[in-house]
Structure 1
């Protein structure tokens, strides 16, 4: 089942409110033309040699290597710490107001002390941390304290990077960051009209230097000149983001006459085509600088899945599994009490770990982990599958069951379990295909038709492959 923008029209209308009708939405004729142009550019990219690759369910095309931080992001092993909510630039594309020096935080959590954040990173087995803002250099001492604590606690096992517009960067600050163990620095040169002075300053001091910017459609020709300079000065990576429309930047996007595309969030059509054009340009002109297109669809799926997966692993029961997309999967054989008793005895005689299954109080269900699949006989039985989302909170909402996770003697967090609507009931004939598609060793992300009997499960099992459809 692919992302179909028409599914989100009403959702986007509510999000945009009174400005919806003033926005230039993608028409059907424009969609056909845009799809053709995108396919043409992608064909050019993947015809030019073996440097071009797809990753993460074909939502992230890139040339050359990805930054270690980008890999950790896609793998769900990354935490972004917003060290403040204050910025000294005025980028038209910024998705939120940055006017307050807030407490450092990530997701729904706040951390006054670096030690508490280091406890969180350790408890949730996080492998990569980034510092963002606002502009983190406005709280430079705070960044250094968190960096020093994380490096002391985790050694070299943690990959750490920082985002910055570079305005306040100096050589002395770069050397401090290097000496405290910063692995990578990422510059938004769009905030300084593509001035490369601070980027050039960082090369040779910080181990990896990246330029990470939205692909602004009006600046494509400028970027074609800039990529040559970045390559020549030894920049390691160029990351191009798709512009995302929010309540904060919407009016500015409307003024620029951008074309808006319906989806799980409102995206800008022209920015995707601009990013792919830059990627194709570097290949055509043999520019070795690796380019990564970070699409909104990639961020929507993989960043959310990463945090769900970390939470799920902390609270999963023995008979539950964690799906690729980070949901908890609970499977139960349904049958008579006699049939369930037979399956229970079968697992006992096979010497299976008793924590991996559980018989319901009414004796009409046997809940089991997928690792027990080979020991079960599904003949004449049905299979019920239920999915649970998890969310991490600073305080209990009391709307869902929760589990307390103590980070240290003074701080704890809570993981809530939210049962997703619509238990999937599989007939005996559907059990085999369910295993093949979602559990077996050859399972892979693939499009599914809405009418497919397993489409309801696919929503929680698979990533939807490909970039956003134009319709």
Structure 2
């Protein structure tokens, strides 16, 4: 559901064009529904998509690999590491120009004048404030932001039964001239599942979804009720958008830039390739046999540690003669076809053996 002009950060997000920068896992808010993974939650670590940020080059490289048109800075609370967040924004703007759209998420409790002035000064385009259950905190944040040059919005989860919280935040955003209110479908994650169950929330009746039952109804009921009373954009974002739309489109953008000559890209944007796993022997000897005896093009053969990678059809075609290949290369071999994400960590999605 969208009523009004779709926020630019959202437009780029659903196209898979936003680099996701996890500034830090540190946050003083302690929301019981926080979806951040246990690996990152509370830890002072930084990532650009799945890539750990150890230098400015890591940040820029990841943006280049996905042809990013913007970035979203998230956490944790990026404002607990304000200098880091400012440096990230400055680096991206210097590298990609002023049109590279950057938005940042921050809890209302962290919104303070000095921080906002720094973010404004370095060129932050859009600030998304996570409202507090305390209306006084939200009003104080709105007052600080009233004269900001950035696009402003509140962004919050749709907690079943909390329609009044959404209504209150929508009216406050309208009162202070904010541009939008985003309401996200609440979902079960590894880090919040126990607390959600303790509060007797259930999953929707769908094996493919982790959404919380009643969350969508709460969002749509509240936004419909307040729609005629405010002039700001009202936007409801279902949980499926993150995985089925945003993530899928992002990996498709990345795949065409990271796939090597021997790797193929399937319709979902996953990398598909053949693997000869060398159990004993020298992988270079196997590569030599493939190139010089079996005449596999050299650019289709890639040695990675104990693995020799190649086109998937090459492994398929050699499945019936693996024993001959082992004898010629003096290697013990296992053969696989794998599908993996084109991300920095190259997470394997599917692997199946090829036997002769």
TM-score w.r.t. the length of structure 2 is 0.72
The more displaced of 267-276 and 109-118 is 109-118
Post-superposition offset of 1:159: 0.5
In structure 2, what is the equivalent of residue 163 of structure 1? 105
Which residue, 198, 201, 215 being the options, matches 1:271?
Answer: 215
Distance (whole Å) between structure 1 residues aligned to residue 184 and residue 167 of structure 2: 16
Q: 5+ unaligned residues in a row in structure 2: which ranges?
A: 274-310, 318-336
Alignment of 1:117-136 (within 5 A): 117-136=59-78
Counterpart check, 1:233 vs 2:176: yes
Deviations 1:251-275 (A, max 9, x none): 3323333232243342211111011
Q: Which runs of 5+ in 1 are unaligned?
A: 1-60, 331-357, 365-385, 395-414, 422-471
Decide whether the 8 Å contact of 2:48 with 2:62 is kept in 1.
no
- Structure-to-structure mapping, 1:16-415, within 5 angstroms: 61-96=1-36, 97=38, 98-102=41-45, 104-190=46-132, 192=134, 195-261=138-204, 262-283=206-227, 285-314=228-257, 315=259, 323=267, 325-327=268-270, 389-394=340-345
Distance 1:176 1:246 in 2: 33
Shift of 1:74: 0.6
Distance 2:185 2:122 in 1: 32
CA contact (8 A) 2:154 2:169 kept: no
Residue 387 of structure 1, CA deviation = 10
Q: Distance in 2 between matches of 1:387 and 1:292?
A: 39
In the aligned structure 1, how far is the partner of 2:25 from the partner of 2:141? Answer: 22
CA contact (8 A) 1:91 1:191 kept: no
Higher RCO, 1 vs 2 (CA within 8 Å, ≥6 residues apart) = 1
Structure 1 residue 189: deviation in Å?
0.2
CA contact (8 A) 1:242 1:272 kept: yes
The one-character-per-residue Cα deviations of 1:162-186 (angstroms, maximum 9, x if unpaired) are 1000323211211111110100001
Change (3 A) 1:73 1:82: same
Deviations 1:118-169 (A, max 9, x none): 2321343111111111111111111111111111111123100110003232
SS in 2 for 1:259: coil
Q: Distance in 2 between matches of 1:152 and 1:187?
A: 25
Residues 137 and 192 (structure 1 numbering): CA distance in 2 closer, same or farther, change over 3 Å? Answer: farther
Rate the CA distance shift 1:79–1:263 in 2: closer, same or farther, 3 A: farther
Shift of residue 317, structure 1, vs aligned partner: 6.1
Q: Are the counterparts in 2 of residues 199 and 209 from structure 1 also a CA contact under 8 Å?
A: no
Q: CA deviation at 1:276?
A: 0.7
| Deviation (angstroms), 1:416 | 7.4
Deviation sequence 1:419-449 (CA, Å, 0-9, x none): 787xxxxxxxxxxxxxxxxxxxxxxxxxxxx
SS for the counterpart of 2:102 is: strand
Following superposition, the deviation at residue 92 of structure 1 comes to: 1.4
Q: Which residue of 2 aligns with 1:42?
A: none
In structure 2, how many angstroms separate the alpha carbons of the residues matched to 1:206 and 1:81? Answer: 22
Work out the CA distance in 1 between the residues paired with 2:165 and 2:11. 28
After TM superposition, list the pairs within 5 Å mapping 1:447-466 onto structure 2.
none
Tell me if structure 1 keeps the 8 A contact 2:126–2:150.
Answer: yes
User: How much does 1:279 deviate?
Assistant: 2.1
Q: How many residues align?
A: 289
Query: 1:174, 1:206 within 8 Å by CA — same for their partners in 2?
Result: no
- TM-score, reference length from structure 1: 0.55
* 2: CA distance, partners of 1:118 / 1:299: 23
Instruction: Tell me the CA shift for residue 329 of structure 1.
Output: 9.3
**What is the rounded CA distance, in whole Å, between the counterparts of 2:350 and 2:210 in structure 1?**
27
What's the CA shift for 1:229?
2.3
Provide the rounded CA distance (Å) in 2 between the counterparts of 1:418 and 1:93: 28
Aligned mates of 2:146, 2:262 — CA distance in 1? 49
Report deviation, 1:327: 4.4
| Conserved? CA contact 2:23–2:84, under 8 Å | yes
